Amino acid sequence: MSESFFDNEAEDKSTGEIPNLDGTTGGRSGEEGAFKTDEGRLAAIMAYIPFLCFIPLLNMKHNEEARFHARQGVMLFLIELLALLFLVDRIANFVFTAVLIVAVAFAIAGIYFALQGKNYRLPIVGDLAEKSKL
């Protein structure tokens, strides 16, 4: 177990390319990947601060690097809002109860169609089951 997770993420010194999370390289290298202005760097930093993530998205239409970080920041902001909703007990209980009711309804529908001898793909569940390697 001498291999480390971080060994794969190290910058390739021979080509100057920075690997992506999936281990592939590409996109930016050397100075090309660096921000050209401090304005772009500041916008990229603001992109990851809740509520401020919309500023670079709306105001930096000319800077693709800042917009890249802004899009990621907005997605993180939406995930954070969703997580905050689940901290409220009543909302979390409602969501989990609704999911349980839908799951039971899908199970009943599956039994009904199985008794009829039909292959019916349940919404969402059927697609996930088809994509899984079970």
CA distance 21 to 126: 30
More confident position, 7 or 50: 50
State whether 58 and 30 are in the same domain: yes
Does the pLDDT at position 10 exceed 50?
A: no
State whether 51 and 77 are in the same domain: yes
Would you state the pLDDT for residue 35?
66
Angle formed at CA 39 by CA 64 and CA 22, multiple of 5 degrees: 45
DSSP letter for each residue of 83-134: HHHHHSHHHHHHHHHHHHHHHHHHHHHHHHHHHHT---PPTTHHHHHHHS--
State whether 16 and 68 are in the same domain: yes
Model confidence pLDDT, tens digit, residues 35-92: 677 777 888 888 888 888 888 888 877 777 778 888 888 899 998 998 888 888 888 8
State whether 17 and 46 are in the same domain: yes
Report, as an integer, the average pLDDT of 103-110: 92
Counting the structural domains of the chain, the total is 2
Would you state the pLDDT for residue 133?
72
Does the pLDDT at position 29 exceed 50?
A: no
Q: How many C-beta atoms lie closer than 10 Å to residue 86's C-beta?
A: 12
Model confidence pLDDT, tens digit, residues 11-21: 444 454 555 55
Closest CA to 64 of 28, 30, 19: 28
Distances in Å between the alpha carbon of 97 and those of 20, 61, 67, 92, 100?
Answer: 39, 42, 38, 8, 5
State whether 11 and 60 are in the same domain: yes
Domain end (from 49, 65, 86): 86
Domain that holds residue 21: 5-86
Does the pLDDT at position 9 exceed 50?
A: no
Lowest model confidence (mean pLDDT) among 56-60, 103-107, 108-112: 56-60
